């Protein structure tokens, strides 16, 4: 039955997700796909007291315990921005692996995470790029430093409208762009040196 298959596959997803989250700095995370019955109230079709929907009689919700000693709670309620970013990265990686997806797009994968975790995420994306084409939009220098090809995206307001442009950076230009991401408008020699160090560390 579909329900039994979901239970079986859910147990496998739990094991794989927890292993992935450990590599993303969430060493004690518990991840659980939970199945509950669709409520009969307001259901379009009910048979023998069981509500049926387009995908069967199961409702699926992800539960997460990001820290040791905390009970798993619904992902939408408990996850911070940084935790949600890492859960999505782990889910996308497993789905791409399962389906053999050629290209994966990550938009704002850096939401809610800081420098140290950003470097962990950047390294994971670099590993993924060995097997998939990765397109990543990020504001975090620690992630951008891992890029094989780096594009600077700018917005410009002109004549009552906003236009975006993207320019490919060569290796000589990257430290200055990383410096801009680190220091905002300030691109002093100190920030440029830090940008160069980030790029060199990403190559290790």
Q: Which helix (H) or strand (E) holds 161?
A: strand 161-168
**Residue 12: per-residue pLDDT:** 95
pLDDT higher than threshold 80 for residue 113: yes
pLDDT higher than threshold 70 for residue 185: no
Q: How many helices (H) and strands (E) in the chain?
A: 7, 9
pLDDT higher than threshold 80 for residue 34: yes
Whose structure tokens read 């050629």? 102
Question: 152: burial class by Cβ within 10 Å (0-12, 13-18, 19+)?
Answer: middle
pLDDT higher than threshold 80 for residue 116: yes
d(CA 157, CA 96): 37
Q: Count how many Cα atoms sit within 13 Å of the Cα of residue 91 in the half-sphere of its side chain.
A: 14
- Give one DSSP letter per residue of 114-159, joined into a string: -HHHHHHHHHHHHHHTTTSEEEEE-S-HHHHTT-SS-EEEEEEEET
Q: For residue 8, what are its two tokens?
A: 């079986």
**Residue 186: per-residue pLDDT:** 61
**Residue 89: per-residue pLDDT:** 92
């Amino acid at each position: 039955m579909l329900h039994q298959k979901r239970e079986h596959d859910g147990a496998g997803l739990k094991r794989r997700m927890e292993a992935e989250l450990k590599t993303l700095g969430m060493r004690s995370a518990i991840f659980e796909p939970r199945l509950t019955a669709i409520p009969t109230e307001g259901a379009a079709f009910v048979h023998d007291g069981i509500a049926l929907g387009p995908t069967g009689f199961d409702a699926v919700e992800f539960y997460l315990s990001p820290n040791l000693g905390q009970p798993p709670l619904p992902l939408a309620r408990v996850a911070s921005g940084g935790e949600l970013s890492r859960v999505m990265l782990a889910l996308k990686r497993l789905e791409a692996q399962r389906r053999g997806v050629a290209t994966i797009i990550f938009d704002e994968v850096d939401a809610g995470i800081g420098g140290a975790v950003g470097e962990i995420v950047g390294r994971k994306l670099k590993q993924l790029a060995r097997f998939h084409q990765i397109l990543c939009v990020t504001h975090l220098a620690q992630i951008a430093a891992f890029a094989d090809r780096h594009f600077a995206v700018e917005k410009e307001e002109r004549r009552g409208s906003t236009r975006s442009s993207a320019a490919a950076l060569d290796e000589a230009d990257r430290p200055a762009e990383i410096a801009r991401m680190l220091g905002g408008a300030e691109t002093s020699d100190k920030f440029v040196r830090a940008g160069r160090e980030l790029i060199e560390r990403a190559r290790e």
